[in-house]
Amino acid sequence: MIAERATGALLSLALLAGAAAASDHGTLRGTGDLGIVVERASGSVRVIETTGRTSLGQIEGLGDLSHASAVFSRDGRFAFVFGRDGGLTKVDLLEGRIAKRVVQAGNAIGGAISQDGRLVAVSNYEPGGVRVFDAGTLDLVADIPATFGDDGTRSKVVGLVDAPGNRFVFSLYDAGEIWVADLSVPSAPEITRFQGVGVQPYDGLITPDGRHYLAGLFGEDGIALLDLWDLDQGVRRILDGYGRGEQPLPVYKMPHLEGWAEAGDLLFLPAVGRHELLLVDRRDWREVGRIAVHGQPIFAVARPDGRQVWVNFAHPDNGVVQVIDVQTRQVVAELEPGAAVLHLEFAPRGEQVWISARDSDRVVVYDTATLQPLATLPADKPSGIFLSARAHRIGL
């Protein structure tokens, strides 16, 4: 007992000494409340923290961020930023610097990180395919060309997500296919292909439990659904009324399927080319209602408790964000954070939401209970907002 107490005391002293030494070089902090705001015009990201709702600094040199997204390491320290120019940049949030950067393709459209956090995958338009990198070194681990047809044509890859079992799932826009890549052995990916899923799958998402992958179709109405628990049953078509529908409006910007909101058993889907959200029952994948909204919805994002869904819109109605009460299925508020709202991100427990207004060069933070602004942060043409809490969620 005395020896155990002595060991514990020595450990406590060591921790205190380490903390004292660290305090000499700066304040210790965790990463759970950190995130980044993409500044698309300047090729930079701004590191933010949600506790005090402040900006901690700007990191430059990330290339073309016109359609950038990000995922996070398991410990939340590093953001992996995917640029439109094919750049993959590993950003150290604690040190406020670029840890490593590679330009891995000519035109990229997003990425994902594996379940174990060891692999980062990037989906590419040019050359069409997926490239997989070691998350520590950014060394290339696997190259998966998205070839189809007898002549080996390469397709643009979209809708890349991570799935349980160190798998990645993605869609081939030009081929009308969905692929599941098992990287249990990273240097030898096992590919399962599903052909003829529909015309021009333009984006994809995975449900938060990691079971279902859904690909939206641009070339026709409907959704392609793949049950990752039972690949043998193949892809089936659901929601044939989803999409452009009858007499569609011009499509100014495609909705992001990542922005589908899940609240209980309901999914809230932006309807392509329509001023509506579609309500879908996840238990049988039937449409159970529609909600008329301000414009063509881009992101429909549920507050973490599922009580509210916040929606932003395509040009020319993109200065407005609407709030929907899930219980009544009614629009209960309309906010104007600024010109050209591009993205919104909830704090992990949902008490605040961060909204980027590109043409107003600002990010506005709202209290989700009172719907009043809490803070406004300057930013250079902000677009995507990504918080480190995504590190612990499937598909984000």
Please tell me the predicted confidence (pLDDT) of residue 252.
47
Residue 262 falls within a domain, yes or no? no
Q: Report yes or no on 66 lying in a domain.
A: no
Inside any domain, residue 30: no
Could you tell me if 85 and 103 are in contact, meaning their C-beta atoms sit under 8 angstroms apart? yes
Q: Which two three-digit tokens encode residue 228? A: 């990752």
**Contact assessment for residue 158 and residue 123, using Cβ atoms and an 8 Å cutoff:** yes
Residue-level pLDDT at 14: 38
| Residue 204, domain extent | 104-238
How far from each other are the two terminal CA atoms of the chain, in whole angstroms?
47
Instruction: Output the pLDDT for position 240.
Output: 79
Query: Which of 273, 275, 285, 339 is closest to 311 using CA atoms?
Result: 275
> Hey, how many other C-beta atoms are within 10 angstroms of the C-beta on 49?
19
In a domain, 190, yes or no: yes
In the structure encoding, which two tokens stand for residue 91, read together?
């950003």
Cβ proximity of 213 and 228 under 8 Å: yes
Number of domains observed in the structure of the chain = 1
Q: What CATH number is given to the structural domain containing 141? A: 2.130.10.10
C-beta of residue 84 within 8 angstroms of C-beta of residue 109 = yes
Distances (CA, A) of 292 to 73, 274, 296, 297: 38, 9, 10, 10
Report the pLDDT value the prediction gives residue 271, as an integer from 0 to 100. 79
Q: Looking at residue 222, what is its pLDDT?
A: 84
Q: Cα angle at 267 between 368 and 288, to 5 degrees? A: 120
Would you state the pLDDT for residue 273?
75
Contacts of 54 (CB under 8 A, 6+ apart): 48, 375, 377
pLDDT of residue 318: 96
Say how far apart CA 138 and CA 121 lie, in whole Å: 10
User: Taking Cα atoms as reference points, which of 194, 259, 269 lies closest to residue 239?
Assistant: 269
* Per-residue tokens: 43: 């090729």
Q: In what order do the strands lie in the sheet with 286-292?
A: 261-263, 266-270, 276-281, 286-292
8 A C-beta contact, residue 180 and residue 228 = yes
Q: Which residues of 228-257 are buried (b: 16+ CB within 10 A; e: fewer)?
A: beeeeeebeebbeebbbeeeeeeeeebbbb
What are 286's two structure tokens? Answer: 């039937």
The answer to whether position 376 is within a domain reads no
CA distances to 66, 297, 347, 358 from 43, rounded to whole Å, are 8, 26, 24, 14
Q: Which residues, other chains included, contact 379 with Cβ-Cβ below 8 Å and sequence gap of 6+?
A: 37, 39, 46, 55, 356, 361, 362, 363
Residue 280: beta bridge partners? 267, 287
In-domain check, residue 86: no
Give the distance between the most distant pair of CA atoms in the chain: 81
Length of the chain measured in residues: 396
Among 134, 81, 177, 172, CA closest to 386? 81
Give pLDDT, residue 22. 37
Which residues of the chain are under the pLDDT cut of 50?
Answer: 1-25, 245, 252
Count other Cβ atoms within 10 Å, centred on residue 366: 24
Do the Cβ atoms of 63 and 81 come closer than 8 Å? Answer: no
Q: Kindly list the strands in the beta sheet with 201-206, ordered across the sheet, starting from the edge strand earlier in the chain.
A: 201-206, 212-217, 223-227, 235-238
